[in-house]
Amino acid sequence: MNILHVCSEFFPLLKTGGLADVMAALPAAQRRLTVDARILLPGFPNIINHVPSKQKVTDLHSFAGNITLYYAVYDTIPLYIIDAPNLYDRPGSPYHDQNKIAYNDNHIRFALLGFVACELAKGCDSFWKPDIVHAHDWHAGLSCAYLAANNYPAKCVFTIHNIAFPGMFSPHHLRELWLPDSFYNIDGLEFYGQISFLKAALYYANHSTTVSPTYAQEILNPRYSHGFDGLLQQRYHEHRFSGILNQVDENIWAPDKDPLITQPYSVRNLRDKIKNKQALQQELGLPLLQGSPLFTIVSRMSYQKGLDMVLEILPKMMDAGLQFVILGQGDPHLEHAFSQLAYKYPNNMRAIIGYTEPESHRFIAGADILMVPSRFEPCGLTQLYAQKYGTLPLVRRTGGLADTVTDCSLEAMATNQATGFVFNESTIHDLGNAIHRSLILWKTQRKWRQLQKSAMTKDFSWNTTAQSYISLYNEILHKG
């Protein structure tokens, strides 16, 4: 079976969020199960300049002009890379400039990704052709529309990694993208008077998924659907929508062999974890306080992540003598607010605005508690990483957080199933209670160690998820 994954990021070459981690891990896990999984990527500088031994596949004529398609292998994963420097060779992130303003030709930049996916399905590489095109998030959403416009030369699966980003553009761009005028209607790309790349994918895909079972159920509800509940409910009743849980790449996130942390450790020598806490405190210039837990957040800074609630509760935590460190970037208002609080509490708090992969490993290994108080969370990966590292997650019961963290209730503790602290509502009251419960458990280090061991031994390997997708592909192909 030949599978083409279509996406905009790939770890370690280019990462702005969890999508890159998934795209590095899922195709690799599928290849271990004898599926020929490959990835199509835009030729952003971090990708095209760091892949060795590229081979030219073909030149293509497109609405974006003439482009070249390359093939390469990176760490056992076959990649197709679109070389279009006028579209992709730019400073800033893949999606916006250095001032965080979205590029005004993003409709062209990411429609091209879908267009080339369809060309591969039509056989532009004479040596390989996908049976399934698996598109990820809105950036790849038009893959499904181009396949539909060409009578489906391959079947298509679409995965929502975050429905809050619908990929919206003016309808006058439709003809620019070489799509039929008839596609612009409610049964197609039209979404509240605009083109939505995500709507196109949900409408034209043979099957859509999202990255956790609970999130799949949540976005059937208007409260979480961002306007897509009607279409999603239709696809759900047609058995064309489901949730498949993301997992952890244990080749990268494993505390016993992690070269990015100060002191490797495992569930068998868990006491060595404290050396990472001390190293993080020293790195950030915090007192070497060991008598209370060190809280951390490693996150994109946004309202979705519930960080405004954390800002409200932090002064009480700081006044109680607790330590808190945050690593992330995003909303300038939140960046400024956390920086101001860190300035106010120099002995208790640090805010590192930005993100690097080594820092994220050091923060997660060095902390005792990882806070993920999201208002909604399609899956979340940091809480999975934290559990592998014995850093107990404190999360809201939503989406993938609900699917991956088991609260330390008496029953769960008695059966060694508990892995963290879970609260129900996006309120200061519920968040405060969860923090309070974590402090109570901290006082009984024997129980704390029990919780850590349960978290560290939980199975979050990609094999199960890879097999679930393969079963889905087979089902789609056998439908004819």
Number of C-beta neighbours around residue 16 at 10 A: 14
The pair phi, psi for residue 231, each rounded to 5°, is -65, -40
**Cβ(211)–Cβ(159) under 8 Å?**
yes
**Cβ(414)–Cβ(392) under 8 Å?**
no
Tell me the pairing of strands 2-6 and 36-42: parallel
Structure tokens at 337: 């607010």
Query: Which stretches of 25-122 are assigned E, i.e. beta strand?
Result: 36-42, 55-62, 65-74, 77-83
**Cβ(288)–Cβ(281) under 8 Å?**
yes
Biggest CA pair distance of the chain: 66
**Residue 15 annotated as binding site:** yes
Structure tokens at 186: 């409610």
**Cβ(374)–Cβ(398) under 8 Å?**
yes
Residue 278 CA to residue 276 CA, distance in Å, equals 5
Tell me the pairing of strands 65-74 and 55-62: antiparallel
Q: How many CA atoms lie within 13 A of 35 on its CB side?
A: 26
Q: Any long-range contacts for 84-88 (C-beta under 8 Å, 24+ apart)?
A: 84/42, 84/43, 84/112, 85/43, 87/42, 87/112, 88/42, 88/43, 88/44, 88/45, 88/48
Query: Which stretches of 154-278 are assigned E, i.e. beta strand?
Result: 155-160, 168-169, 190-191, 194-196, 207-210, 241-243
372: β partners = 395
Binding-site positions for ADP-alpha-D-glucose read 15
List the binding residues: 15
